[in-house]
Amino acid sequence: MKFLKTVYYFLFFVLALSSIFFVPRTLVIKEVSCQSQFGRCSGKISEKIKDGQNLSFLDSKSRLIETLSKEISVGNFSLQFEFPDSFKVHIVERVPKFAVQSLVQPEIALVDKNWLVISLTESTNLPSVYLYGSIPKEGDIVSDNLAFALGLVYDMNTSYQIKKGTIENKSFVVGLEGGQRVIFPLEGDTKVLVGALSLMLNQLNSESQDFKMSNVQEIDIRFKNPVIRLKN
């Protein structure tokens, strides 16, 4: 009896060892599905992971890891084997927060919270910074000045529903609803600058002010003491 138990244990060990070494090499993955934090993965990702189908377990896993690691729009991912012959991919997609648009080219760069350009598109409703030159490429980290301008337009959108501004002459310019221009520096604290603008607008709209907001052409916040320029 003791001898038979030993034989059974040995056979079990051999079968387990065989499954570890041979099954991953012989099992063919017939299907790869994808799930993100939003539900189904985007069409772009779903199309790319098809490269992992109809390959052996090991080759499919290797191909999926290589594909997803190179995909800029994927922040994180994991693979889950589902019996009998499929992989389920779980991904965390990067989410665009800002946009960079050019006045001379049609493409728009979508930027996430870490200042990474995650994709290019042709339209967007995101808060946008306009440039006179070229937009950054997919996979680029935006420059410090551009990142600062993106933060400013985001805060301006939150406070005043202003969704766009332009970098010009090393400054960031936005237009108010009444047609007035506001000139910001490209460094500092975005919330302090927007707060300073809010204080000035409150003063300009008060009845005690010598001139009305409708007489203002430009508000320049690049200096310690902001400058108000009136219409001629």
Stretch 71-100: mean pLDDT:
95
Find, among 181, 42, 184, the residue nearest to 110 by Cα.
42
Beta-carbon count within 10 A of 67 CB: 18
Question: With contact defined as beta carbons under 8 Å apart, do 160 and 198 qualify?
Answer: no
pLDDT of residue 17: 42
Q: Which structural domains are found in the chain, ordered by start?
A: 2-93 (3.10.20), 96-230 (3.40.50)
**DSSP conformation letters of 122-173:** S---S-EEEESSPPPPTTPBPPHHHHHHHHHHHHHHHHH---EEEEETTEEE
126 and 97 in contact (C-beta within 8 Å)?
Answer: yes
Beta strands at 181-184 and 108-112: parallel, antiparallel or unpaired: unpaired
Residue range 51-60, pLDDT digits in tens: 999 999 999 9
pTM: 0.82
pLDDT for 6 equals 63
Do strands 55-56 and 96-102 pair parallel, antiparallel, or not at all (unpaired)? unpaired
6 vs 12: CA distance, rounded Å: 10
